[in-house]
């Protein structure tokens, strides 16, 4: 395809390259300040650029995000440069305040996909399932509904990694909380985020991995 044909096709479909200059810098600064006060307080410019793109639909050059982050969080930038990060303290107000949900793929090559959820406050394992697939949204939603039915209630906030496998579960959670009037009601009852922020379930996976390696070592030694 020639460049003239490509340009003609782009014009006919109304497609244009996004222009970063059309984005309000004051608005972007406000969003970055909000993120720095919350879940992205330790984020560098790459993670912040990713958050702006996925969470807010803002497409900015990374260099621009780096410049804004140096302006708004100069101390944090310096600490990250020196590898002196101030770790966040995990806080949950009580049971069923937040559920952390994730899949475990380390055993998938052996035919054992695993899926689990944990209560962020008491670290109670809500479910752990070895299933033919941990990527099917219907299967994952089924685990969630079984747990909600068993406990006779849903969490205030559901926390998952980004992915199509959790979409149906997220919709159900938001629907169950749609008639509430608190700050996490409706669409705010579910939150996507990176694996590094899904602390409780990722910590549990690390314990599982250590136990798997422990028993594997015993097996290798014939014990």
Query: pLDDT of 148-181, one tens digit each?
Result: 999 999 999 999 988 889 999 999 999 999 999 9
The answer on 102 and 145 residing in a single domain is: yes
Contacts with 4 (C-beta within 8 Å, 6 or more apart), sequence order: none
Which band of pLDDT confidence, cut at 50, 70 and 90, is reported for residue 13? confident
Quote the pLDDT of residue 85.
Answer: 58
Q: What is the 3-state secondary structure (H, E, C) of 150-208?
A: HHCCCCCEEEECCCHHHHHHHHHHHHHCCCCCCCCCHHHHEEECCHHHCHHHHHHHHHH
Quote the pLDDT of residue 130.
Answer: 93
Contact 160, 142 (CB under 8 A): no
Contacts with 68 (C-beta within 8 Å, 6 or more apart), sequence order: 25, 28, 29, 32
Is the pLDDT confidence value at 79 over 60?
yes
d(CA 190, CA 156): 9
Last residue of a domain, one of 53, 81, 109: 81
91 part of a folded domain: no
177 part of a folded domain: yes
The answer on 130 and 178 residing in a single domain is: yes
Quote the pLDDT of residue 198.
Answer: 81
The predicted-structure confidence for 111-125, as pLDDT tens digits, reads as follows 999 999 999 999 999
Is the pLDDT confidence value at 21 over 60?
no
Q: Which domain holds residue 126?
A: 98-220
Quote the pLDDT of residue 208.
Answer: 82
Reduced to 3 states (helix: H, G, I; strand: E, B; else coil), residue 16 is coil
Is the pLDDT confidence value at 80 over 80?
no
Is the pLDDT confidence value at 20 over 70?
no
The answer on 72 and 122 residing in a single domain is: no
Global pTM value:
0.63
The fraction of the chain above a pLDDT of 70, given in percent, is: 93
The answer on 144 and 69 residing in a single domain is: no
Which band of pLDDT confidence, cut at 50, 70 and 90, is reported for residue 19? low
The answer on 155 and 200 residing in a single domain is: yes
Question: What is the length of the chain?
Answer: 223
72 part of a folded domain: yes
d(CA 211, CA 221): 15
The answer on 150 and 108 residing in a single domain is: yes
The answer on 111 and 10 residing in a single domain is: no
Reduced to 3 states (helix: H, G, I; strand: E, B; else coil), residue 90 is coil
The per-residue pLDDT of the chain, averaged, comes to 85
Domain tally for the chain? 2
92 part of a folded domain: no
Quote the pLDDT of residue 119.
Answer: 94
């Amino acid at each position: 395809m020639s460049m003239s044909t490509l340009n003609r096709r782009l014009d006919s479909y109304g497609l244009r390259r996004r222009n970063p200059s059309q984005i309000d810098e004051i608005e972007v600064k406000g969003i970055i300040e909000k993120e720095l006060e919350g879940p992205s307080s330790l984020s560098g410019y790459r993670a912040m650029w990713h958050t702006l793109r996925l969470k807010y639909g803002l497409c900015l050059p990374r260099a621009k995000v780096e410049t804004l982050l140096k302006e708004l969080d100069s101390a944090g930038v310096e600490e990250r440069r020196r590898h002196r990060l101030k770790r966040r303290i995990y806080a949950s107000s009580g049971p069923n305040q937040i559920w952390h949900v994730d899949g475990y793929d380390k055993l998938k090559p052996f035919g054992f996909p695993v899926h689990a959820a944990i209560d962020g406050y008491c670290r109670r394992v809500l479910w752990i399932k070895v299933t033919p697939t941990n990527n099917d949204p219907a299967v994952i939603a089924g685990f969630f509904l079984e747990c909600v039915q068993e406990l006779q209630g849903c969490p205030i906030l559901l926390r998952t990694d980004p992915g199509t496998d959790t979409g149906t579960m997220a919709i159900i959670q938001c629907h169950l909380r749609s008639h509430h009037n608190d700050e996490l009601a409706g669409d705010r009852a579910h939150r996507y985020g990176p694996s590094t922020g899904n602390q409780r379930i990722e910590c549990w996976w690390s314990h599982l991995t250590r136990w798997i390696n422990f028993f594997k070592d015993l097996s290798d030694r014939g014990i």
